[in-house]
């Protein structure tokens, strides 16, 4: 019997890797999309390719977006610095690493692709627990997007509905990592840092590095990725 198809948004980070493993565990055949939007950490795309190979993704499309439409600290030559050593617990403002409507755009690509190939499930590795407060990572956003997706597509309108799946949404980073280890994910293939050194070494100090490092510590698992050389062994 043919497996059920699903579309996966694959960034190259540990959340989308864990989401891939969860979706595969549920029996889906995965079709993945990865985006270049001028991100300073475009090395994550190399991680996405390795992960697509690791997970035997059926088809992996890398999509190049027009960089000039994104104003964000994550984008090269934006003139905005990636903030370092923020405390996401106390600094609750949405940081300048926010990318305007990023998940909306990525999900919309996934929706076009899913309807075209006959998939109805779309997996995204968003989390709303250990995160930077981005509006497009919250449960109420996904619920609203899902409703809109079913209202604006032929399949959805006919009752053959889409299902936006964000299985990590309510998990702590340490729980995500523990889950991924259970599922035998090779996290050395993943990249999380927003602002890596030229050789790809993560800075250790941006939101993404900090959340990852704390997550591995809390899970009691060694992070296979090594940080800023100044920093020694993590």
- Binding of residue 139 to a copy of itself (CB under 8 A): no
Closer to a copy of itself by Cβ: residue 5 or 212:
5
Burial status of residue 161 (CB atoms within 10 A of its CB: 0-12, 13-18, 19 or more): middle
Instruction: Write down the least CB distance from residue 96 to a copy of itself, Å.
Output: 10
Separation of alpha carbons 44 and 23, rounded Å: 21
Q: Which of 3, 63, 80, 197 binds a copy of itself (CB under 8 A)?
A: 63
Q: Which stretch binds a copy of itself (CB under 8 A): 13-21, 146-154, 183-191, 221-229?
A: 146-154
Taking contact as CB under 8 A, which single stretch among the options 9-17, 142-150, 164-172, 213-221 is the one that binds a copy of itself? 142-150
Contact 226, 234 (CB under 8 A): yes
Among 58, 61, 221, 234, the residue binding a copy of itself under the rule CB under 8 A is 61
Q: Is 179 in the site for a copy of itself (CB under 8 A)?
A: no
If one asks whether residue 80 binds a copy of itself (CB under 8 A), the answer comes out as no
Residue 30 sits in the site that holds a copy of itself (CB under 8 A): no
Q: 40, 71 in Cβ contact below 8 A?
A: no
One residue of 80, 85, 91, 104 binding a copy of itself per CB under 8 A: 104
The contacts of residue 122 (CB under 8 Å, 6+ apart) are 6, 7, 8, 9, 107, 110, 111, 114, 162, 163, 164, 165
Paired tokens of 89: 């617990």
């Amino acid at each position: 019997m043919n497996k059920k198809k699903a579309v996966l948004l694959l960034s190259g980070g540990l959340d989308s890797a864990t989401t891939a493993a969860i979706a595969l565990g549920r029996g889906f055949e995965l079709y993945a999309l990865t985006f270049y939007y001028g991100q300073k950490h475009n090395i994550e795309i190399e991680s996405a390719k390795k992960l697509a190979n690791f997970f035997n993704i059926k088809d992996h499309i890398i999509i190049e977006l027009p960089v000039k439409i994104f104003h964000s600290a994550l984008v090269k030559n934006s003139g905005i610095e990636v903030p370092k050593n923020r405390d996401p617990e106390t600094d609750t403002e949405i940081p300048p690493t926010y990318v305007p409507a990023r998940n909306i755009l990525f999900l919309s690509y996934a929706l076009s692709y899913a309807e075209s190939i006959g998939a109805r499930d779309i997996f995204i590795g968003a989390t709303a627990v250990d995160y930077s407060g981005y509006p497009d990572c919250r449960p109420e956003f996904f619920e609203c997007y899902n409703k809109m997706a079913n209202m604006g597509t032929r399949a959805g309108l006919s009752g053959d509905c889409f299902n936006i799946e964000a299985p990590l949404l309510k998990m702590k980073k340490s729980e995500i990592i523990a889950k991924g280890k259970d599922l035998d994910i090779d996290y050395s293939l993943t990249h999380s840092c927003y602002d890596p050194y030229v050789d790809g070494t993560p800075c250790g100090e941006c939101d993404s590095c900090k959340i990852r490092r704390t997550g591995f510590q809390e899970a009691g698992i060694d992070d296979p990725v090594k940080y800023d050389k100044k920093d020694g062994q993590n």
